[in-house]
Amino acid sequence: MRTELPPTPVVTSRPVDTSPISLTPPAGADLDPIWAAVVPETRTRSNDIHLPISLAYAERLCAAYPDADRLVVRVAILLHDTGWGRVDEDRILSEGFSGDWRKAAIRYEHEKQGCVIAREVLPPLGYAPEFVDAVVDIIDGHDTRKEARTLEDALVRDADRLWRFDHAGIALASGWFKMDPATYCDRLASEIVPELLTEAAIAIAHAELRRSQDLLKTAVLR
Ligand SMILES: [Fe+2]
Ligand SMILES: [Fe+2]
């Protein structure tokens, strides 16, 4: 459940799927009971867009890194931001996306609430205590802790960033940060790519960003 994190960026000898993410939606229905349990929490901060797309990226990363515990990664990414559904909504945009937003109190609060939700939702669905602990360890600090502790943690962090490179992520996140899409794409390349922890995620990010920039005509619309 907790695989040691190799040096970063983590290399892979497996093929990496860099095709548009809409071609490989989240696989299977095994997580549907978890989705059903968190529907209200998906209605905040576009979690109903962010979480499923991020899960699709997480599954691609798991295919590139088969040593990782795939179920831990998938469940952790599904639940990681559900805590936004239980914090004061007005503060999400005012504190969560301006100033030193990575250290805003609301960021810590959404992580804590996400851990509470995981502990509420998973045990009644039959997930074992050790599994729930592994998921909670990833959710806790996923935005505010500087370093990834395990390979599973690193894959969740990368999937959480990769969704922004798809045009749906650019559409939503550029609005949150009050940036035009072209400026936001520049920021993805200069600030978010260097934060990625795996070689697979870096390849996917570059491919998605190129496609999104072409699609959105960011060379001209700036
Ligand atoms: Fe988050
Ligand atoms: Fe997230």
Residues near ion ligand 2 (Cβ under 5 Å): 81, 160
Compute, in angstroms, the gap from residue 79 CA to the centroid of ligand 2.
9
Q: Shortest CA distance to 55 belongs to which of 13, 90, 24?
A: 24
Compute, in angstroms, the gap from residue 110 CA to the centroid of ligand 1.
7
Task: Name the residue ranges covered by the structural domains of the chain.
Answer: 30-215
Per residue in 62-78, pLDDT tens?
999 999 999 999 999 99
- The CA-atom distances, in angstroms, between 220 and each of 169, 183, 205, 206, 213 are 20, 12, 21, 20, 10
Is the CATH code 1.10.3210.10 the one for domain 30-215?
yes
Per residue in 121-154, pLDDT tens?
999 999 999 999 999 999 999 999 999 999 999 9
Per-residue pLDDT, 135: 98
* Ligand located closest to 87 CA: 1
Per residue in 198-207, pLDDT tens?
999 999 999 9
Per residue in 80-108, pLDDT tens?
999 999 998 778 777 767 777 777 889 99
Per-residue pLDDT, 96: 67
Cα dihedral across residues 114, 115, 117, 122: positive or negative:
positive
Compute, in angstroms, the gap from residue 107 CA to the centroid of ligand 1.
7
Compute, in angstroms, the gap from residue 46 CA to the centroid of ligand 2.
10
Per residue in 170-222, pLDDT tens?
999 999 999 999 999 999 999 999 999 999 999 999 999 999 999 999 999 99
